[in-house]
A and B are shown apart, each in its own frame.
Chain A
């Protein structure tokens, strides 16, 4: 995996992690409006970056259109990546 892709992948991990943290917080604080606003804003940012990443490097999840041949099985799989 080249530098550029790895860098984008880590950005994606960071945004997704932020969304997860707000998600868990909101499960037990469903009426915290400030946290909800932050959550919605990060969901928006995440979806933009995910779109860019998938357009460039192929599908990250189900129900994504695929170029030919079937892109889902392209290597590397997550455990094969060198994250250095």
Chain B
């Protein structure tokens, strides 16, 4: 089961309301390389991991991604909250407004809703761990493009935190992959 903690993992700040940035950033909420996809991917792949280390790391990183999902939601909420209707229209979010007002919905930057087709669960631990490592790299790259798009130092501070987490997760998945390979090899040549 899961238990909610009523606090963010990181003190997520924005310098000013900025609807255009909200539109870009929402891809990390409901886009292909976003935090929802990351969490759902790891939490559903863990059932077919052969070693306790791999089951543990997928459970724990899958859970941390939920904390990141909450950070992204907080940032989008703060970027949108005080925006005027004029600003929303100017940023090209009129269509979003018609469906959601300023509510949070799982879409990418172009309004495409989240889909389970963004993730895979192959049932093969080596293939799944490779997907997970690639997912961390894609999320890292997305954070870099978002930092390039933003001139808000407060927002970028949180984006840099999230980007660094992708690097640490990549390292842990890489270690889990090694452990899984050794386990599978030991079974083969026993």
Contact = CB atoms under 8 A, between A and B. Distances in A.
Interface of A: 9-10, 12-13, 16-17, 20-21, 23-25, 27-30, 59-62, 72, 77-79, 81-84
B172 A62 contact: no
A39 B65 CA distance: 21
Given A21-B168, A24-B60, A28-B57, A83 B5 contact: no
A53 B168 CA distance: 29
A80 to B, nearest CB: 9
Nearest to B169: A24
Interface in B53-102: 53, 56-57, 60-61, 64, 70, 73-74, 77-78
Contacts of A78: 6-8, 70, 74
Contacts of B115: none
B60 A27 contact: yes
A10 B74 CA distance: 16
Given A28-B172, A28-B176, A61 B53 contact: no
B6 A77 contact: yes
Given A24-B172, A28-B53, A83 B6 contact: no
B6 A61 contact: yes
A27 B172 CA distance: 8
Contacts of B175: 28-29
A10 B11 contact: yes
Q: Closest 6 CB pairs between A and B?
A: A83-B11, A28-B175, A79-B74, A27-B56, A27-B57, A78-B8
A61 B176 contact: no
Contacts of A24: 57, 60-61, 64, 168-169, 172
B126 to A, nearest CB: 16
B11 A30 contact: no
B12 interface: yes
Contacts of B73: 79
A72 B57 CA distance: 30
B7 A13 contact: yes
A28 B169 CA distance: 11
A61 B56 contact: no
Nearest to A30: B53
Contact of A13 (B10, B53, B60, B74): B10
A72 B7 CA distance: 12
B12 A83 contact: yes
A39 B57 CA distance: 16
